[in-house]
Amino acid sequence: MQRTSIAATFFVGSLFGAPPLLAQEVADTIYSGGDIITVNELQPQAEAIAVKDGLILAVGYRDEVMQCKGASTQVVDLGGNTLVPGFIDPHGHVFNTGIQAISANLLPRPDGGVNDIAELQSALKSWAQQNQKLTGQYGWIVGFGYDDAQLKEQRHPTRDDLDQVSTELPVVIVHQSGHLGAMNSKALEILGLNAGTENPPGGVIRRREGSQDPDGVLEENAFFAQLFGLMSKLSPDANQALFASGVHLYKSFGYTTAQEGKGSLDSVATMEAVANSGKLDIDVVAYPDITVGVEAMKAPWLSRTYSGHFRLGGIKLTLDGSPQGKTAWLTQPYYKVPAGQKPDYQGYSAFSDDQVNGFVDQAFKNNWQVLAHVNGDAAIDQYISAVRAAEQRYGMADRRPVAIHAQTARLDQVEAFKALGIIPSFFPMHTYYWGDWHRDSVLGPERAVNISPTGWAIARGIIFTSHHDAPVAMPDPMRVLSATVTRVTRSGQVLGPEHRTSPLVALKAHTLWSAYQHFEEKSKGSLEVGKLADFAVLDGNPLTIDPMKIADIKVIETIKEGKTVYRREAAPATVGSVASCAESNACFLVASRALGRAGVIHTHDHEE
């Protein structure tokens, strides 16, 4: 692509009174007939946009852009729909989203149907019955997405609850946060977890009351090791099929750039193989976990440019757990501590200060961007201290370290972000999914109103991003925008009205500012001449619609570098285990069919 020549030969600027230059190029495609939101402050809206060789050739009034039309130009009528920049994922797990696609759907309503333990047991039994080839080959029953905060019982399922699903097959279920899980007695037996097993560093094996016997619930590192061991049994073909299903789901929600925010060596190898095959049609940037993936940090994949639509962007560091799971590391006790904990329980760290300082120092020394998972304010303190020490040693530079989630960031910490050049990537979706839980159980009314404090960042001129952390939540940009704008909880209350943003700021945080976080703002994130023709076509305008209806907007089409990579079916069938999560459930079909071809799982159709 000749980006410089195309950008130089044609620029439509007459929305600001400047006469258009004569076109030197003929467009491949011109889009008009709907709202076009550019996310470009110098030219906020346009009537038409032209594309040539995967790049934006012209943006402006329709009659001026139509000067780019030639005999071969395709003119697309948007039909009143809205065209925006393709969405850029500032933090999610596109590979792990594929894992969710083939697991039993244990999400609560509205994304699933599990709001009590009986429904959870039923969903697992139904999944096992429908996936006998998978359970026969791998010998496990797997479910994803349960949320104790939404279960009627207000607790985690235990080994005894899961033993009612099966006593012959091991059962493992993943909490919606991804930071906890539960197993039945058979699974604990196979993994050798018993009364004599000690808690690993940065993890907790919950015990039955009055004994040291595990109750089946595993937190953080106590759970991760077991889950990664289970996933290591999948074949290369199966892993590629999972990745493909995750990518497809992202495309169905308008993403032209996805992220794998905590890659293992195996998942990175899978993504590299798919990129080499030429089958990846949106950009994917991955961040290997620094504790296991340092050897992946080398050319050609460690780069600011993509090869086969894939690259490594830096390193991921996880410093604590999840607030909704009450494993995030706080400086003050939880409002209501988990069962069995002391009244002063504040969660816990994943690493010592010396370890974290060493990790960040290593990244700065090698000029690796760092994405640090920091939910609790104690973990944020630890990260800020490590970044400050590394900058003092290696000097200030454009490294763009990121504080992922930063949900309980204090005002002084937001000010430290600005001073140190740390980009906060907030998680405003928590205000909807767990806002009531944070207020009533996790943080209490005073602290809960300031989760994901976007208002403090805006007031200080700090660029921030907002994300979904899929598969923690579905990769739905409209729900991200909705939560960032409204901060309305499940019960209909506004949590922290001073942190609500305008729809345009919410859109920037998921497009242009996300591109900046990835060092890609010169080529993505806004509709400007010379940038990639990455678009999402929506059936509503998020800037003009009632803010309470932003979440209802659907993606009609996803366009990557001028080529359609997803188009919504007019009347999609609802099939598969995650039908309630996506508008068509195509993610499950892609995964199950691909796994079937790989000899991992038989395919079948379900009706809801």
Beta strands in 319-395 (DSSP E): 369-374
Residue type, position 36, single letter: I
Q: Which residues of 49-86 are buried (b: 16+ CB within 10 A; e: fewer)?
A: bbbbbbbbbbbbbeebbbbbbeeebeebebeebbbbbb
User: C-alpha 249: how far from its chain's center?
Assistant: 12
User: What single-letter DSSP state applies at residue 270?
Assistant: H
Query: Distance (Å, rounded) from C-alpha 370 to C-alpha 8?
Result: 35
Going by their DSSP bridges, the two strands 465-466 and 314-318 should be labelled as unpaired
**pLDDT digit string (tens) for 490-515?**
999 999 999 999 999 999 999 999 99
Residue type, 212: Q
Contacts of 600 (CB under 8 A, 6+ apart): 133, 134, 137, 234, 235, 237, 238, 241
The pLDDT of residue 135: 79
Query: And the tokens for 143?
Result: 């479910």
Q: Determine the pLDDT at residue 100.
A: 77
Provide mean pLDDT across the span 184-202: 93
Q: Which residue has the tokens 């919606």?
A: 176
In order, the DSSP letters of 425-437 are: EE-TTHHHHTHHH
Give the three-class secondary structure for 121: helix
Residues paired with residue 205 on neighbouring β-strands, in sequence order: 218
Say what the pLDDT of residue 233 is.
65
Query: Average pLDDT, whole number, for the chain?
Result: 89
Query: Over 50: is that where the pLDDT of 577 sits?
Result: no
The pLDDT value given to residue 229: 65
Cis peptide, bond prior to residue 110, ω within 30 of zero = yes
pLDDT at 227: 73
For the chain, what's the residue count?
608
* CATH T-level topology, domain 319-501: TIM Barrel (3.20.20)
Q: What's the whole-number mean pLDDT along residues 538-542?
A: 98
What pLDDT was estimated at residue 230? Answer: 66
Judged against a pLDDT cut of 50, whether residue 593 lies above it is answered with: no
Provide the whole-model pTM: 0.85
Query: Cα separation of 169 and 166, whole Å?
Result: 6
pLDDT per residue as tens digits for the range 398-456: 999 999 999 999 999 999 999 999 999 999 999 999 999 999 999 999 999 999 999 99
pLDDT band per the 50, 70, 90 thresholds, residue 569: confident
Buried b (16+ CB within 10 A) or exposed e, 460-488: eebbbbbbbbbbbbbbbbbbbbbbbbbbb
Residue 586 pLDDT > 70: no
Q: How many C-beta atoms lie closer than 10 Å to residue 37's C-beta?
A: 23
Residue 597: what pLDDT?
A: 37
- 284 has pLDDT over 90: yes
pLDDT at 239: 86
Phi-psi region of 139 (alpha: psi -120 to 50; beta: other; left: phi over 0): left
Q: Where in the chain is the domain with CATH 3.20.20.140?
A: 319-501
Q: Is the pLDDT of residue 394 over 60?
A: yes
Give the pLDDT confidence score for residue 433 in this predicted structure: 93
What Cα–Cα distance (Å) separates residue 314 from each residue in 217, 266, 364, 517, 550? 32, 16, 11, 12, 33
Portions of the chain given CATH number 3.10.310.70 = 114-233
The CA distance from 72 to 543, in Å, is: 34
DSSP conformational letter for 439: I
Q: List 143's β-bridge partners, or say none.
A: 104, 173
Q: Is the pLDDT of residue 595 over 60?
A: no
pLDDT at 138 (0 to 100): 74
Q: Which residues pair with 369 in a beta bridge?
A: 314
CATH topology of domain 114-233: Diaminopimelate Epimerase; Chain A, domain 1 (3.10.310)
Question: From residue 28, how far is each of 50, 266, 282, 562 by CA, in Å?
Answer: 8, 39, 20, 8
d(C-alpha 335, C-alpha 345), whole Å: 9
- Mean pLDDT value across residues 576-600: 37
Region 54-81 average pLDDT: 97
The single-letter DSSP state of residue 93 is B
Instruction: Please name the helix (run of DSSP H) or strand (run of DSSP E) that holds residue 3, with its range, or none.
Output: helix 3-9
Instruction: Report the pLDDT value the prediction gives residue 582, as an integer from 0 to 100.
Output: 36
Tokens of 140: 């496990």
C-alpha–C-alpha distance, residues 509 and 124, integer Å: 37
Q: Which helix (H) or strand (E) holds 185?
A: helix 185-191
Q: Please give the full DSSP string across 307-339, using - where no structure is assigned.
A: BTTEEE-EEEEE----TTTT-S--SS--SSPPT
pLDDT tens-digit series, residues 452-467: 999 999 999 999 999 9
How is residue 1 written in tokens?
Answer: 């692509």
